[in-house]
Amino acid sequence: MVRINRVYTGSGDDGTSSFVDGSRHRKSHPRFEAVGTCDELNSIVGIIRRECADLPNHSDGGSSASINRIQKISAAALDRIQNELFDLGAELACTPQNLPDYMELISQQQCDSLTDEMDAWIENLEPLTSFILPSGTGPEPVIHHARCVTRRLERCLIAIQDDAGDDAVRPEARVYVNRLSDWFFVFARWVTKNLGESETLWTPLAKRIESSNVSAMIKKFHSNERDFENLG
């Protein structure tokens, strides 16, 4: 059982911290960058859980059922994801060769679960005709943020391998992170559909109209404000 009596120890005041195996290293070490990014991602997932839980229930039966569906699926799935990210962070805080025997590690089973869930969501989604812009009135933008941070975590793992060799990160850990970013993308699409919203698709530069420049709108607002002030 884990028992934490205090958070501060003072041992890191010199700019070093410990790996799981007890060895101390500079906090700029690539492994600590990966662990910190994993922790950051876990915190963002916590925000997604809150955003999903706070979705308002509507009087309409269909909308209410869809909100309930999002809340039940997200509560179960994101609880698991947060625990797996904590497992992954502990693993990354050490070289694979020096991991303690008692540590439970991310396996192919967790990778397959992500794939199974994506397949289940995709069955209910229309094929994409363009890239998606991160947007939405619910938790979707935060889910896309999690997707981006997951890709950064993946780059951290590759950086560790570039620095210390391919065996410096277990293949299952790298595959899990790669799958997880895709998982967040599909999850965001599924949430958008169940909220009854339309996805915001990227419009190529050549097709964007000049009126997207809002300077004229800003000047009009300012002009209206001056006209209103002159009425006094």
Residue 160 has pLDDT above 50, yes or no: yes
Quick: pLDDT tens for 169-205.
999 999 999 999 999 999 999 999 999 999 999 988 8
Instruction: Estimate the share of the chain in helix, then strand, then coil, as percent rounded to the nearest 5.
Output: 65, 5, 35
For residue 147, the model assigns a pLDDT of 98
User: What is the pTM for the complete model shown?
Assistant: 0.85
Class of domain 16-204: mainly alpha
Residues in the chain: 232
Q: CA of 76: how far to CAs of 45, 167, 188, 225, in Å?
A: 12, 33, 16, 50
Q: What is d(CA 201, CA 127) in angstroms, rounded to the nearest whole number?
A: 12
**Residue 101, class by beta-carbon neighbours within 10 Å (0-12 exposed, 13-18 middle, 19+ buried)?**
exposed
131 and 202 in contact (C-beta within 8 Å)? yes
Of 53-57, 63-67, 82-86, 155-159, minimum mean pLDDT range: 63-67
**Cα(179)–Cα(88) distance, rounded to whole angstroms?**
14
pLDDT in the model for residue 195: 94
Which residue type, as a one-letter code, is found at position 8?
Y
**Mean pLDDT over residues 18-36, rounded?**
75
pLDDT exceeding 90 applies to what percent of the chain? Answer: 64
Position 142 scores a pLDDT of 98
Domain boundaries, the chain: 16-204
Query: 97-104 — which CB contacts under 8 Å span 24+ positions?
Result: 97/167, 98/19, 98/20, 98/21, 98/23, 99/20, 99/21, 100/20, 100/21, 103/20
Per-residue pLDDT, 27: 67
Q: Assess contact for 87 and 104: CB atoms under 8 A.
A: yes
Question: Higher pLDDT residue, 153 or 230?
Answer: 153
CA angle 149, 152, 157 (to 5 degrees): 130
